[in-house]
């Protein structure tokens, strides 16, 4: 039985059941395996949390992680860095993006994405999204033409996979380099092929709320030797690049070692130690996430006015969060629904909120990006809600969450200002 609070009984529509309350944390991160913690402690006790050593025989945890990530993604090269945001920046720099240059990126993404473009002193040009939260291919084509951009930094925002083969084809036709931001798609596939392997570069995150958790961390994968060598040097390898775990040959570094700046964006060896035992767990975690996702998706579809985002059957996604639209309430009613849910332990994020809150922001709230109007995108974001799916959720948790949402919606609709004309 879900726990309840007696004071939630409302006298208006009596007799009423006490309202459900969800009492577990909504944002449980993936657990860091004990073996990872033990190895990280060993590194700390030996005073060696740094990936490089002057001992040329030294094989760091970070180098081992790089080899494992290259094998996992099936890419030739993998470089571990300090965050996904920095991995995006390094990818842009390695592609030779110059100050002032236009870079295409999704209008629906997280702030570190336009932030990475700004970090490279380039100019974000926003591409709209569809109702499925994927890239609007017509808008992409139009923006490629009008902007003259050479690079598309494409987010698989909240794990929604666009038709990646179509995006890659369109980019190739116009000689646009594709960078995939896979912060929420490590372990996901489109049409059988791993996310992060459709473009020139794939970038992943190891920040606490993503699919592997070291607190902070990012990864760049590529098959391009010149990009890999530059990212390694720029990440801050000094001339110790031979200590990398999935790197190009020395001859490639000869082209770059004396002309490439060091931006010091290294992953710590302790972070790598925490991450290594997580990779083998990822498919088991994905099964748990997706079982909860399917339960929530089916339940949301039965609640009046709530519609889970439709997904392409070719997506093998990782359901670490779920998105849905609210179709029967004005903005004040959506705000009330969110308050009602939060008061009963279920935390929702809203892409239509007036101001950026917490992790959530909308493209027109990035004041450093040239203003653009994307009406179709706005129409989606205005009604779009987002909920984290913790890997720890079981069937009973999902049922309680759905009850809370159903009751919150009923309460929001009861509020006089939110009554919709039938």
Ligand X SMILES: *Cc1c(COP(=O)(O)O)cnc(C)c1O
Of the residues 181, 340, 397, 407, which one makes contact with ligand X according to CB under 6 A: 181
What does the alpha-carbon distance between residue 186 and residue 372 come to, in Å, rounded to a whole number? Answer: 30
| Shortest separation between residue 122's beta carbon and ligand X, angstroms | 16
| Shortest separation between residue 359's beta carbon and ligand X, angstroms | 8
The smaller minimum CB distance to ligand X, of residues 94 and 157, is found at 157
180 binds ligand X (CB under 6 A): no
Residue 120 main-chain phi, psi, to 5 deg: -85, 10
278 binds ligand X (CB under 6 A): no
- Positions in 321-360 near ligand X (CB under 6 A): none
Tokens of 379: 């129409």
| Shortest separation between residue 74's beta carbon and ligand X, angstroms | 22
Q: Stretches 180-188, 255-263, 331-339, 392-400: which one binds ligand X (CB under 6 A)? A: 180-188
What does the alpha-carbon distance between residue 342 and residue 397 come to, in Å, rounded to a whole number? Answer: 15
| Shortest separation between residue 173's beta carbon and ligand X, angstroms | 25
Of the residues 84, 94, 292, 385, which one makes contact with ligand X according to CB under 6 A: 84
| Shortest separation between residue 348's beta carbon and ligand X, angstroms | 17
What does the alpha-carbon distance between residue 350 and residue 276 come to, in Å, rounded to a whole number? Answer: 34
Q: Using DSSP, state whether 379 is helix, strand or coil.
A: helix
183 binds ligand X (CB under 6 A): yes
Which residues lie closer than 8 Å to 42 by C-beta, 6 or more apart?
A: 273
The smaller minimum CB distance to ligand X, of residues 117 and 157, is found at 157
Binding mask 387-416 for ligand X (x = CB under 6 A): ------------------------------
What does the alpha-carbon distance between residue 295 and residue 395 come to, in Å, rounded to a whole number? Answer: 7
Q: Give the number of other CB atoms < 10 A from CB of residue 284.
A: 10
Of the residues 130, 162, 207, 235, which one makes contact with ligand X according to CB under 6 A: 207
CA atoms within 13 A on the CB side of 337: 29
Residue 324 main-chain phi, psi, to 5 deg: -150, 160
| Shortest separation between residue 158's beta carbon and ligand X, angstroms | 7
Q: Give the number of other CB atoms < 10 A from CB of residue 340.
A: 23
The smaller minimum CB distance to ligand X, of residues 83 and 418, is found at 83
Of the residues 36, 85, 128, 245, which one makes contact with ligand X according to CB under 6 A: 85
The smaller minimum CB distance to ligand X, of residues 81 and 411, is found at 81
Of the residues 157, 272, 275, 411, which one makes contact with ligand X according to CB under 6 A: 157
205 binds ligand X (CB under 6 A): yes
Q: Where are the alpha helices (DSSP H) in 158-268?
A: 164-173, 225-236, 250-256
The smaller minimum CB distance to ligand X, of residues 156 and 237, is found at 156
What does the alpha-carbon distance between residue 281 and residue 70 come to, in Å, rounded to a whole number? Answer: 17
Q: Check whether the bond before 15 is cis (ω within 30° of 0).
A: yes
247 binds ligand X (CB under 6 A): no
The smaller minimum CB distance to ligand X, of residues 256 and 285, is found at 285
| Shortest separation between residue 91's beta carbon and ligand X, angstroms | 12
What does the alpha-carbon distance between residue 210 and residue 195 come to, in Å, rounded to a whole number? Answer: 15
62 binds ligand X (CB under 6 A): no
232 binds ligand X (CB under 6 A): no
Of the residues 102, 112, 128, 248, which one makes contact with ligand X according to CB under 6 A: 112
297: enclosing H helix or E strand: helix 282-302
What does the alpha-carbon distance between residue 389 and residue 386 come to, in Å, rounded to a whole number? Answer: 10
109 binds ligand X (CB under 6 A): yes
Measured CA to CA in angstroms, residue 299 lies from 104, 237, 403, 406 at distances of 36, 49, 9, 9
Which residues lie closer than 8 Å to 133 by C-beta, 6 or more apart?
A: 108, 157, 158, 160, 309, 323, 380, 384
Q: What is the CA radius of gyration of the chain?
A: 23
Tokens of 228: 């890999």
Q: Stretches 9-17, 70-78, 107-115, 194-202: which one binds ligand X (CB under 6 A)? A: 107-115
Tokens 């490279």 locate to 120
Of the residues 95, 110, 120, 303, which one makes contact with ligand X according to CB under 6 A: 110
| Shortest separation between residue 159's beta carbon and ligand X, angstroms | 9
Of the residues 62, 83, 213, 418, which one makes contact with ligand X according to CB under 6 A: 83
Residues that bind ligand X (CB under 6 A): 83-85, 109-110, 112-113, 155, 157, 181, 183-184, 205, 207, 210, 218
């Amino acid at each position: 039985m879900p726990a309840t609070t007696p004071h939630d009984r409302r006298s208006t529509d009596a007799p009423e059941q006490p309202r459900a309350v969800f009492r577990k944390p909504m944002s449980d991160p993936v657990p860091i395996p004990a073996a990872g913690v033990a190895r990280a402690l060993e590194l700390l006790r030996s005073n060696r949390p740094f990936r490089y050593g002057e001992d040329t025989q030294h094989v760091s945890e970070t180098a081992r992680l790089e080899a494992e990530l290259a094998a996992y993604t099936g890419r030739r090269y993998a470089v571990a860095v300090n965050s996904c945001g920095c991995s995006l920046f390094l990818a842009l720099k390695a592609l030779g993006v110059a100050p002032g240059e236009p870079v295409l990126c999704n209008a629906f993404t997280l702030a570190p994405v336009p932030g990475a473009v700004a970090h490279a002193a380039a100019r974000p040009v926003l591409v709209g999204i569809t109702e499925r939260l994927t890239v609007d291919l017509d808008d992409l084509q139009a923006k490629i033409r009008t902007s003259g951009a050479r690079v598309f930094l494409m987010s698989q925002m909240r794990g929604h996979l666009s038709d990646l083969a179509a995006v890659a084809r369109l980019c190739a036709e116009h000689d646009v380099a594709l960078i995939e931001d896979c912060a929420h798609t490590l372990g996901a596939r489109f049409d059988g092929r791993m996310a992060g392997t459709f473009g020139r570069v794939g970038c992943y995150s190891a920040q606490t709320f993503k699919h592997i958790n070291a607190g902070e961390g990012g990864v760049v994968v590529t098959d391009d030797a010149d990009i890999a060598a530059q990212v390694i040097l720029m990440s801050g390898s000094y001339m110790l690049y031979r200590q990398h775990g999935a790197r190009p040959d020395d001859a490639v570094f000869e082209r770059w070692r004396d002309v490439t700046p060091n931006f010091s964006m290294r992953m710590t060896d302790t972070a790598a130690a925490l991450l290594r035992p997580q990779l083998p767990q990822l498919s088991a975690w994905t099964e748990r996430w997706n079982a909860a996702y399917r339960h929530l998706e089916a339940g949301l579809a039965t609640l009046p006015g709530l519609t889970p985002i439709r997904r392409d059957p070719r997506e093998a996604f990782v359901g670490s969060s779920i998105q849905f639209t609210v179709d029967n309430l004005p903005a004040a009613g959506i705000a009330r629904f969110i308050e009602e849910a939060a008061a009963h332990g279920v935390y929702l994020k809203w892409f239509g909120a007036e101001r950026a809150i917490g992790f959530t922001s909308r493209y027109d709230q990035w004041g450093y990006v040239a203003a653009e109007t994307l009406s179709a995108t706005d129409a989606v974001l205005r009604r779009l809600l987002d909920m984290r799916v913790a890997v720890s959720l079981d069937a009973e948790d999902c049922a309680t969450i759905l009850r809370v949402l159903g009751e919150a919606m009923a309460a929001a609709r009861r509020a006089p200002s939110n009554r919709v004309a039938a």
